[in-house]
Structure 1
Amino acid sequence: MDTGHVGVWHPLLNRAPAGEARAAATEIERLGYGSVWLNEAPGSKEPLANAGVLLAATTRLAVGTGIASLWARDATAMAAGAATLSDAFPGRFLLGVGVSHSTVAGRRGHDYGKPLTTMRAYLDGMDEAARDLPPAGAPRVLAALRPRMLELSRDRADGAHTYFVPPEHTAAARGILGPDRLLIPEQAVVLETDPVRAREIARAHMAYYLNLPNYTNNLRELGYTDDDLADGGSDRLADAIVAWGDAAAIAARVRAHLDAGADHVAIQPLAPGALDLTDALTQLRRLAPALGIEPAAGARQAAGAQPEVGARTVAGV
């Protein structure tokens, strides 16, 4: 699987109408990004089914689930879904599995219990089911933030997909995972050079996550204080979680994750106000040269999309 160093994570890839999502995926592929990631949250589509839709619409783009919740399907269904997609699209599907959050599990009628114990048992079930299925071949990564889940990602999976983390977390995660496991962090970004405006956009993005203990506990372990987490997040926290500025500044943050040990960074372009896939694609076009990304030869072109003219590669990422 050759995904390069940079992919795209965006909630609307798994919420937008199928035609819009397909067009976005083909444009992302044409621009030269290596992957797209589909989350699973209230209001999203079923991510494995939608992964098939986007894989069929593209030719080389990798599609990952970031993440498929174990509360949404039993272990046999998850293993079978991964086997189906990896058989149909060899080398292009990555299965990200996670325990999600207690509020999400509760909405589905489940008792969240102990996440690590739940994940271990679920992986046992997946491995048992896989004995009767065609070989999957798809890398399996776990949503992991803190040391024990990262250790499980090392011991029972191909690596970890991290979210809402700064580069110092990536460095710590690489230390736990060791050198031969995948590490794929998400990084929120916004092309905005005004600090006040950029931090407003960052805080709007962070608001939901700062109410989830999985994320706040992880941030405390990284040295962020209750003051950092209060009132929508301090400037220090906003700057750590969301990379903002010009394209060079955002490329520098991606490089920081790669230098810290990431194999691939999934950037999430933020927009002022509501989620906006059109704005995200505009930012991705502007960012590609600074990220060292060139248009992919032979990729399908989304209807109405125009190739960038005079795009250049900037060394460093």
Structure 2
Amino acid sequence: MTTASRRVGAIFTPDRPPEDFRQAVHLAESAGMDELWVWEDCFRESAFAAATAALAWSERIQVGIGIAPMPLRNVALTAMEIATIERMFPGRLLPGLGHGVLSWMGQVGARVASPLTLMREYIPALRALLAGEEVSTSGRYVNLDRVKLDWPPSVAPLVYAAGEGPKTLTLTGEVADGTVLTGGTTPEGVAAASTRIASGRASAGRTGPHANVVFVPIAVGADASARAERHLERWKRPGEYDRIAAGSLTEVVARLEEFYDAGAAAVLLQPLEDDLSQDEFFAVAAEVAARLR
């Protein structure tokens, strides 16, 4: 049985057009997913617009943003977005923020010299605003003068931060309520990340739960190895099958168990690019989720 500390979800990747999203939401909910996550890759689809639509189109499923780039938005605007959604759909939004792809941030004139400094300033300010506090701060990137939300959520949602490098992972433990680990992270990578995150939490005196979520590309079926290899070649990681769960249904489920054992609270199933239709992918995802439970 899936619990709050062991969740299974799926990702709607933005290589699919926005008009496909409504079907994905219905398929995810009917497939029994706990969560459906969206990405905000430049220059494709808006995370907050998509999340709001998904919550309106569904009844039960939680919707995650993994992630929205911090450099693109003033922290007060992000707080307003999250608070508005949370008040309309209490307890169902899982907001995540991250550095963003640096080259994309450069394209729009939003690249910062120190992404770590931005995260260190941004996430605490965001969490304070969502908690209904009045925030004044003067930092390198985040500057607020007596900012307070008129409509804060009655219960502030957990704020996730994305991490990949060791310094960022440690920082997510210090400032965030959960960490988003990128697709292609191995079970060994999850274990190492969990250690760094725990170290960051300890150094900041943080207590309570901290949920690590990881995107895992999956390929199920007789041709799974060939499909997985094509995906890995696109990543320029040929032969690195530990970055993906591929094989029979039993083999894939066993592989996903390794991610939970390594410290993931949620495993988010990621479709391979140009692979299955949405119907086919969520049919497989439903079988995987049923086995994991």
TM-score bracket, shorter-length normalisation: 0.7 to 0.9
- 2:161 is the counterpart of 1:142: yes
Q: CA deviation at 1:259?
A: 0.9
Tell me what 1:201 maps to: 230
Shift of the 70–191 alpha-carbon distance from structure 1 to 2, 3 Å rule, reads same
* Length-normalised TM-score, structure 1: 0.75
Q: Is contact 2:32–2:289 with CA below 8 Å preserved after alignment? A: no
Q: Is contact 2:24–2:278 with CA below 8 Å preserved after alignment? A: no
- 2:90 is the counterpart of 1:70: no
- 2:107 is the counterpart of 1:107: yes
Tell me what 2:143 maps to: none
Aligned residues: 262
Q: CA deviation at 1:260?
A: 0.9
Instruction: Measure the CA separation in 2 of the matches of 1:68 and 1:281.
Output: 27
- 2:230 is the counterpart of 1:185: no
Shift of the 170–202 alpha-carbon distance from structure 1 to 2, 3 Å rule, reads same
Q: Is contact 1:3–1:35 with CA below 8 Å preserved after alignment? A: no
Unaligned runs of 5+ in 1: 207-231, 293-313
Instruction: Measure the CA separation in 2 of the matches of 1:150 and 1:104.
Output: 21
Q: Between Structure 1 and Structure 2, which shows a larger proportion of strand residues?
A: 2
Instruction: Measure the CA separation in 2 of the matches of 1:124 and 1:157.
Output: 8
Instruction: Measure the CA separation in 1 of the matches of 2:119 and 2:96.
Output: 12
Tell me what 1:255 maps to: 257
- 1:175-207 per-residue CA deviation (whole Å, 9 max, x = no partner) reads 23338211001101122434762343222542x
Instruction: Measure the CA separation in 1 of the matches of 2:5 and 2:261.
Output: 17
- 2:28 is the counterpart of 1:24: no
Secondary structure of 1:81's aligned partner? helix
- 2:171 is the counterpart of 1:167: no
Shift of the 98–259 alpha-carbon distance from structure 1 to 2, 3 Å rule, reads same
Q: Is contact 1:3–1:61 with CA below 8 Å preserved after alignment? A: no
Instruction: Measure the CA separation in 2 of the matches of 1:75 and 1:114.
Output: 16
| Mapping 1:83-102, distance limit 5 Å | 83-102=83-102
Unaligned runs of 5+ in 2: 134-147, 199-207
Q: Is contact 1:55–1:63 with CA below 8 Å preserved after alignment? A: yes
- 1:12-53 per-residue CA deviation (whole Å, 9 max, x = no partner) reads 4x85234x3112111111110111111111232211111000
Deviates more, 1:120-129 or 1:178-187: 120-129
Secondary structure of 1:137's aligned partner? coil
Tell me what 1:279 maps to: 277
AA partner of residue 281 (structure 1)? D
Instruction: Measure the CA separation in 2 of the matches of 1:282 and 1:141.
Output: 30
Tell me what 1:121 maps to: 121
AA partner of residue 151 (structure 1)? T
Q: CA deviation at 1:143?
A: 0.5
* Length-normalised TM-score, structure 2: 0.81
Q: Please, which of 204, 210, 233 is the counterpart of residue 237 of structure 2? A: 233
Greater RCO, 1 or 2 (C-alpha within 8 Å, sep 6+): 1
Q: CA deviation at 1:121?
A: 2.0
